[in-house]
Amino acid sequence: MTDIAVRTLQILDRLGVGDPFEPGGELVSRSPIDGSELGRLRPHSPAEAAEVIGRAHAAFEQWRVVPAPVRGQFVRELGGLLREHKDDLGALVSIEAGKIVSEGLGEVQEMIDICDLALGLSRQLHGLTIATERPGHRMMEQWHPLGVVGVISAFNFPVAVWSWNAALAFVCGDAVVWKPSEKTVLTALACQALATEAARRAGVPEGLSAVLVGDRAVGEVLVDDPRVQLVSATGSTRMGKEVAPRVAARLGRSLLELGGNNAAIIAPSADLDLAVRGIVFSAVGTAGQRCTSLRRIIVHESIKDDLVARLTAAYETLSIGSPLEASTLVGPLIDQPAFEAFGAAVAQAEADGGKLVTGGEQVDVEGGGFYVRPAIVDMPAQTDVVKAETFAPVLYVLTYRDFTDALTLHNDVAQGLSSAIFTLDVREAELFMSVVGSDCGIANVNIGTSGAEIGGAFGGEKETGGGRESGSDAWRSYMRRSTNTINYSTELPLAQGVEFG
């Protein structure tokens, strides 16, 4: 057993997770750091998955009548446990997903932050009082718990995405059944262990939070079960196009957070020192495996050479290696298919006339794993490979002369998640954020495309799916609305002046 595997067992023990090597375990968990086997788990059968959903539904029927501020105490307990175990859970994220230490810890901090937000929200799930045309009447809206929420998450944010959904769903009065990526099951089991302890302390109904271990077959049970009122799915656009019709076929709700092909416009007035820092983190953070990773920069021709030279110099200083080393800035790709997709994208870009400026090669790291040097490719045009999302650190450089052309180039992709502009021109900044500017769900000025805070709703348009999670009014996705009219008069006037009788 490798040192990483031993450390994983120790962390899991402290987090309250049982032995990850189960008898008959078919689902193998491996670390992308060196390929170490971390556990062998027995997947749920479709029948077992249905039973888990049934228990969640029964728990929901009890939980929905608990006052929302009382429900908030469950999330408060969960947030406290996350604070207590932040270092261990962050390390487990690094081990299982390959994130560098600060990103692993940052993801757990994001969980803590959303628990804080949800706790406050538990006292603010307010409706509206609406003016009515009928005398002696009052009209209002109320929000009620929705039901069982199914969460399907991807490997790249193995814990934060669950918490965005779960923290809000719990205070909204819902139960949560989580189907994590097969690549990051141990982090999910660790979160569930903490949720179970928080539930015990808060006196929560058993089964309110659950994890399903398995592959596509288990996910299909979650998607197709009519007791699951909302399916919140994070992953590829291809996956979303399969999930959405199946949920719609039973008239359920879906919340989709899918692919991104994020760009930053670099204007002539840009502070290039600031731009370089924002670009590099957005492009190479998590080894380019974020849905908000920067894939394209659209730079004005007058500053292109200067910017590319600065980026090249920055890229050549990047430390690549084990994410458990404090000095590392770029860790491994998640697996071999990701490595092959990286190589194929660089090769296709060159075949399309692109010039490889820096990077693009595999990096040998002691112990194994799929490590690469992040690539910058200068492209003559926005070809098909540029328009496709490659989940790896490939940054394409495109050039513009007129700002209107830059906006057209920016929006000429199927995805619409995150975007940025670096400019000191207030007109360009305002235009970028206007209705004729970026068509993305997130539009930033003088910061990169990744690293969103939980206070704002997170999500995108077009093939990104249109969903919104985390802050702002995203909580409404997890509740149902009831419009109520109360007649306290002795008359029965009808709306719109209708006479009947």
Q: Where are the alpha helices (DSSP H) in 64-176?
A: 68-84, 86-97, 101-121, 160-172
The identity of residue 312, as a single letter, is T
DSSP string for residues in 365-403: -TT--BEE--EEEE-SS--HHHHSPPSSSEEEEEEESSH
Query: Which residue shows structure tokens 């962050």?
Result: 90
Count Cα neighbours of 420 within 13 Å in the Cβ-side half-sphere.
27
Query: Which residue shows structure tokens 């419009």?
Result: 483
| Residue 365, CA distances (Å) to 92, 101, 112, 368 in order | 20, 17, 33, 6
What's the burial of 24, exposed, middle or buried (CB within 10 Å: 0-12/13-18/19+)?
Answer: exposed
Rounded-to-10 torsion of CA 433, 439, 442, 448: -80
User: Helices 46-63 and 216-224, interaxial angle, to 10°?
Assistant: 40
Active site (catalytic) residues: 257
Q: How far is CA 51 from the centre of its chain?
A: 27
Count Cα neighbours of 288 within 13 Å in the Cβ-side half-sphere.
29
User: Helices 237-249 and 216-224, interaxial angle, to 10°?
Assistant: 40
First to last CA, the chain: 84
Q: How far is CA 500 from the centre of its chain?
A: 53
| CA–CA separation, 106 and 285 (whole Å) | 12
